[in-house]
Each structure stands twice: as structure tokens, then as C-alpha cells.
Amino acid sequence: MTESARPTATYRLQLTPDFGFGEAAELVGYLAELGVSHLYLSPILQAVPTSQHGYDVTDHSRIREEFGGVAGLRELAAKGLPLVVDIVPNHMTVPVPESGNARLWDVLKSGPLAASARWFDIDWSGGKVAMPVLGGDTDVEDELILDGDVLRYYDHEFPVRPGSGGRLDDQFYRLVPWREPPGYRRFFDVSSLIGLRVEDPEVFDATHEVILSLVAEGVITGLRVDHPDGLADPRGYLARLRERAPVWTVAEKILIDDERLPGDWACDGTTGYDVLNMVTRLFVDPAGAGPLLDTFAEHTSFPRDYDIVRYEAKKQVLAQFFGGEIDRLTRDVPELREAMVELLAAMTVYRAYTVPGEEPPEETVRLLRTAAADASRHADPAAVARAAELVVSGPAETVIRFQQTCGPVMAKGVEDTALYRWYPLACLNEVGGEPGRFGVSAGEFHAFCAAMPPHTMTTLSTHDTKRSEDVRARLAVLSELHDQWAEAVAGWSERVSFDPKLDYFAWQNLMAAWPISVERFSDYLYKAAREAKTSISWISPDAAYEKGIRDFAARAIDVCGSSVAAFTERVDRYARVNSLGQKLVQLMMPGIPDVYQGSETTDFSLVDPDNRRPVDYAYRRSLLAAPGGDSWDAAKLLVTTSALRLRARLDPALPYVPIETGEAGENAVAFARGEEAVAVATRFPAGLERRGGWGAETLTLPPGRWRDVLTGTRHTGRIPFAHLLARYPVALLDRE
């Protein structure tokens, strides 16, 4: 692959039935003017017709009809922006009715000898695949309807095995209550998504034929691989993919803290959650950690120790959701069940990278030793030691199953449980985030950047982020205004309260997403409460509690709205600084920057589906056509376009060179890209204001003459920060 074939920057669009290839094509001119080199699309293969996200694929042989089909895709590609697409190798959907997935229908009809049986990761040990669809306590036989060669159960459909006469006991499936685990590997705890076996060459070829043909045709020029940790052999998969599609490829690999992408994975890097978390921490003042933890503890019933919350959350999801996975993992060693559960609970990453028959990497050995030591506090140490040995050097089935279970337990136990329970500062509660790690120094950030792969993706917002970048920019300010925040939230809580496990979480997000409608806010809290699993959950609803959530949301906005608005207005003086700073840093640091739809201006979205709402592109076009305004939106758009256009002229592999900020210390971060560009951003603006501003502090630029592309001002040598950052809290310098 040539350097010119790689993007310099991407723009992610979320396609929906109402926003397909035709609508995307209308944006190509705007996006090109914005400065991106490639258009990055959500999944494009045929999915459930009403799907708003596209990860529920039903047919790999077709480009999604609702978007315009393959003809519409080719027309979009012909508009001039090369296309990067999101592919989903780990799973397909189990639609309702089930006949919507022809491959699955074939397996349900003909069992393990079906032509499509090798497609799916099914447990055939009992001769049948469990399908969790039943509800209620009535006899299933009374609710089944035989309609020719189809068995119907409400909206569900199942094929009749030839010669069975429609008798349920004679089918290759058994219908079980919806809360029971399915007889197949699923995506996390989502039984409506069934795991694929792309490690099988035949399955790989069939599921990738259309995508690979479009790569060969030049219609698709880059790939984003969804959830590689779910695969039996991510390394082997990526190697096969790179061989067949030698294009820029990034993997949605979630790295925790100092974890790094395995060097033997054949891809250009990750989709950027590691970068997102590092950039967020760069703008969080670590001095706020203690006070914010005190406020959190005062308003909630959760422990001060995050490790306790994380462990309890992982144990809860293991017990509630992953019994089937544990059964399969320990089928030959049932006496190790408790030890294996504790080992999974103790794992701190999404995958340990053990490969059957290979010596494990040194880092993997260290991770497993640490996990085993932690697990031994809760289970028999000898049993834990044996379990740890099995997942490294045991049978291939055990090694692989353990790897494939680590990710779901982390995702559901941490992302979707612990992060909704432990939130002293919610901007730190992102995918792959460590909420107890308040802030990083400029030196730590520089070291991180120096080790980055040059073509990895960087991002600040995605379709999966818990909060958009500007919501996080506001929340980061609380690390500097912790006393004022504590006073404000105490006043609101005195006037409106509901559940101490939820209220403090609600106040943070209400302020950070303000203004927000009652409907959006209550929908968000409803999801948050179900994810936290402390009072309700997705499998244990409570109508009275859910009504209480909606009543609380309405009262919070009605009673405290004016006060929340006033506090947010105060926060925004500093959040604007954080927003522009993190945007400039992300766009200019090593890697290929991605802009998530609409985030070239301010966006105060919460978790999906809130972050998939339609974007007002007419407004953004008008701002781009008339630059120079003083609004936050205008400034953010200026920073975005200026950085993207400059990046388009720079080699992505240019060295990252830290620049000392001198007496300005932690209030600034500065770096150069080779000898071609310099980026400077303000940090901790509230603290900077309290100490009287920049004063006489200066920054020494690299040799040469420089022009700030944001203001047109020329600089050389030693420059006062007060002069360099007089118009904007950031500077982007281009060598003249």
C-alpha cells in the first residue's frame, strides 16, 4: 500500500434508512472543503431493514438496499472522496422473524449437517441449539402454531425439520426462556447476535466476498474492523484480510491504560479509544481528584474504591449473563468453574493474546499472573493456578474460549455496569477508560504520542462513546471548579431527589449536555439506570421505578433548570478552551484523525442512540461559508478545518517533537510535527485565570518563521503566551 492511498483524515457518517448513500453524496463537497481525505461509513452490508446502526447483518452477499444498494455505493464513491467502511466479522443477527437470516434458517432446519452449519459458533453438544425466545409461564406447545413447514411463536418463525411432522421435540433447536443463555456464542450478552466462525476459510470467503470485490474494484479504500477480540484468532484474521485487501485498516481494539496493540496484528492501528482517553485526561486537573471523590461519596452509596465496584460489577454480570459461556469453558473441568469465574473477573484487559500451541508473550504472562494472584483471594489458589495454566497452555478450545469470554465480561462488567456506578468525574468514564486515573501530565502525554503508530486512527467522539467530546470538555472543568460544583449540586439535590445511586450521575450529565429536553434526558437516565443494574436492569424492569426516573428528569429541568443553565454558562467559559484544545491536539498528534459526524462544531450528545441523531449540516455549511465568527461553534469549525487542511499537506509519519512550555508549566501543551507545524493548547483555564493569566510567560518556537493559520499572525523565536494566544486559546503554526 502506498502512502498516498492512506487517509490524512476521515469523517465518520452514521448511515440509517433515512440517511443513505444519496444523502451522504450530497455532503461530499462540504466534507472535502472541511479538509478530510476519506469518507468513513458505518456498516453497509444488508442488515435488519429498520436498523439504525447496521451491526445486525443479515446477508453478506448484498449491499444494504435501504441505503441504495451497490449502485448507490458506487455513485457515492464516484463523487471523489475515497471510502472507508466498517465491517462486522464477529457476528450476524438473529432477526425476528428468524427467516430474515437465510444462513441461520438453514442451520435451524438441517442442524449440524446443514450447508451453513460451519458459519456459526454453535454448541451442538446436546444435539440441539438453544434459542432463548420464550416469555411467560404458559406451555409453549399451546402457543406454537404450525403453518406448513414453519413453526410460529408470536413474531418468531422457525423451520420444520423435514419428516418431523412439526413436533417440537424433533427439531434441531429447542426454545428456551428469553433469559436463558443461547446455544451459541453471542456478541457480549446480546442473544440476538450470533457469533461467526471466520477462522474457517470458507466462512471468511463467503462473508467477505462482496467487501473484497469492492476493494479490488477501488470502490472501498479502507477498512474498520469491528470487535476483533470476539474472534477465535484475531491475528490470523487480520493477516488473511491484509493479504486479500492491502488497504488502510484499523481494528476496534480497546486498550486499557498502558496496554499496546500487539505488534503482530496486520493492521495500521486501533480506532482511537486509547487516544480519546489520553486526550481527555490531558485536560483534567489531577488536583480535583480528592474533592470530586469526596462529593461523589457524599451523594451516592457506592464505595470510594473503584476496584471494589469493578470487581462486584464483573461478578454480577458473570452470574447473570455468562453462565452459558462458563459452562462451555469448563465443560471438561467443572471443578474449576469457580476458579475460572474469578480469573475472568480479575482480568483487566479485553484479551490476553494467548494462541494455542505458542509460547505466550511476556506481557500476557504478567497479566495472567497478576489476575491469578487477585483471583486467589476469592477462590482456591491451587484451582486458580490450574485454571490459569489451562488458559495459556491447555486445549485449544479452552485457550480460545477464555480469550473470547474476556472481552464480553469486560464490556458488560466495566463499560456497561461499573462505569455507570462509579463516576466522581464522568468524562473519565469512557470505553477503555480508567475513571480512577485523574489526569496525565504533559510529559506523560508526550511519551504516549512518541510511541504511537503513525497511521493509527485518532478520535474524540464515536457512535460508541458514552458522551460526546464537548460534554466531556464541560465535565473536565469540574476538576477545576470542584468547590463550586459541590455547592451547586448540593442545592439541586435538596430541591429534587430520586435515587442516590442515580441522582449525582444525573446532575453531571444534565449540566454537561445542557440544554436538553426532558425526553432526551429521561431516556438517557433510563438507559443509565438499566446499565448500572442497581435498581433495575434490562432483564429486570420495574415500571414504578422507570416512572420515577421520568418524573425526576422532568422535575430536575423544571425546578432547577435556570440554576443548571447559569452554572453551565459559567463552566462554558472554560469548557470552550478545553473543547478547542482537545480538538487541536487530536487533529495534530500522530495518527489519522477522524471527525465523528457533526463534531466539527459543538455537539452535546450522550450515549447511543442520542449520538446518532440527525446532524444539521445546513447550519454547518453556513458557518463554513462565512468564517470568522466569535461563537464557540465558529471557533471549533475554524480549528477543525485549519488543522485538517494543514494535515492534508503533512506526512503522517512526521516525528512528534515535544516543546517545553517553560514557566507556563501545566497550563499549556505544545508540540511540533517534524519541522513543518506547531500546535499549542491551553490547559486548566480556570486555574490559569485564578493566577492572573499568562503574565510574562513565553514559549520558544523551533527555528524559522511561523504563521498562525487561525489568525494569520506571524511569529518567530520566543513569543509571549499572552500574544500567541490572544485571539484563541490555541495556536496552529505553519512554517513559512
Query: Which DSSP string corresponds to 343-359?
Result: HHHH--SS-----TTSP
Between strands 38-41 and 10-13, the pairing is parallel
What average pLDDT score do residues 668-688 get?
98
Q: Percent of the chain, pLDDT > 70? A: 99
Residue 652 has pLDDT above 80, yes or no: yes
State the Cα torsion 606-608-610-613 to the nearest 10°.
130
Q: Are 732 and 584 within 8 A, CB to CB?
A: yes
Q: Are 694 and 664 within 8 A, CB to CB?
A: yes
Position 137 scores a pLDDT of: 66
Per-residue model confidence as pLDDT tens digits over 245-254: 999 999 999 9
pLDDT interval class at 142 (50, 70, 90) = confident
Distance CA 138, CA 303 (A): 42
Residue 136 has pLDDT above 80, yes or no: no
pLDDT interval class at 165 (50, 70, 90) = confident
Q: Are 457 and 586 within 8 A, CB to CB?
A: no
Distance CA 301, CA 10 (A): 43
Position 1 scores a pLDDT of: 62
Tell whether omega for the bond before 97 is within 30 degrees of 0, i.e. cis.
yes
DSSP 283: T
Encoded amino acid at 65, one letter: E
Written as nine digits, the cell of 557 is 429541568
Between strands 190-195 and 91-93, the pairing is antiparallel
Position 359 scores a pLDDT of: 92
Encoded amino acid at 104, one letter: L
Buried residues in 611-624 as b, exposed as e (16+ CB within 10 A) = bbeebebeebeebb
Q: Are 644 and 664 within 8 A, CB to CB?
A: no
State the Cα torsion 71-72-76-79 to the nearest 10°.
70
Per-residue model confidence as pLDDT tens digits over 172-228: 999 999 999 999 999 999 999 999 999 999 999 999 999 999 999 999 999 999 999
Position 141 scores a pLDDT of: 77
Task: Give me the chain's average pLDDT, please.
Answer: 96
Distance CA 542, CA 536 (A): 6
Q: Are 216 and 208 within 8 A, CB to CB?
A: no
DSSP 467: B
Residues 43, 48, 50, 51, CA torsion sign: negative
Distance CA 661, CA 313 (A): 42
Distance CA 656, CA 269 (A): 17
Distance CA 228, CA 246 (A): 18
Residue 508 has pLDDT above 80, yes or no: yes
Q: Are 462 and 226 within 8 A, CB to CB?
A: no
Per-residue model confidence as pLDDT tens digits over 55-76: 999 999 999 999 999 999 999 9
Q: Percent of the chain, pLDDT > 90? A: 95
Distance CA 225, CA 667 (A): 37
Position 665 scores a pLDDT of: 87
DSSP 79: T
Q: pTM for the full model?
A: 0.96
Domains of the chain are 3-88+198-271 (3.20.20.80), 98-195 (3.30.1590.10), 303-420 (no CATH)
Residue 466 has pLDDT above 90, yes or no: yes
What average pLDDT score do residues 712-728 get?
97
H or E segment to which residue 443 belongs: helix 442-450
Q: Phi/psi at 60 (nearest 5 deg)?
A: -80, -5
Between strands 677-682 and 730-735, the pairing is antiparallel
What average pLDDT score do residues 546-558 get?
98
Rg, C-alpha atoms of the chain: 26
Q: Are 288 and 261 within 8 A, CB to CB?
A: no
- DSSP string over 88-149: --SEEE--SSGGG-HHHHHHHHHGGGSTTGGGB-B--TTSSEEEEEE-SSS-HHHHEEEETT
Written as nine digits, the cell of 554 is 422532568
Position 4 scores a pLDDT of: 55
Q: Are 222 and 84 within 8 A, CB to CB?
A: yes
Quick one: which of 361, 456, 466 has its CA closest to 411? 466
Written as nine digits, the cell of 665 is 508549566
What average pLDDT score do residues 354-380 get?
94
Q: Are 496 and 560 within 8 A, CB to CB?
A: yes
Per-residue model confidence as pLDDT tens digits over 3-41: 558 999 999 999 999 999 999 999 999 999 999 999 999
What average pLDDT score do residues 301-318 get?
96
Written as nine digits, the cell of 465 is 462513546
Q: Give the total residue count for the chain.
A: 736
Position 257 scores a pLDDT of: 86
Distances, alpha carbon 109 to alpha carbons 17, 102, 105, 355, in Å: 31, 10, 6, 34
H or E segment to which residue 307 belongs: helix 306-321
Quick one: which of 50, 215, 208 has its CA closest to 119? 208
DSSP 259: -
Residue of higher predicted confidence among 48 and 664 = 48
Q: Are 52 and 96 within 8 A, CB to CB?
A: no
> Which strands form 677-682's sheet, in the order they lie side by side?
656-658, 668-673, 677-682, 730-735, 698-708, 714-720
pLDDT interval class at 301 (50, 70, 90) = confident
CA 148 distance to own-chain centroid: 44
Site of grid cell 467530546: 469
Q: Are 35 and 85 within 8 A, CB to CB?
A: no
Per-residue model confidence as pLDDT tens digits over 260-287: 999 999 999 999 999 999 999 999 999 9
Lowest mean pLDDT segment, chosen from 1-10, 109-118, 600-609: 1-10
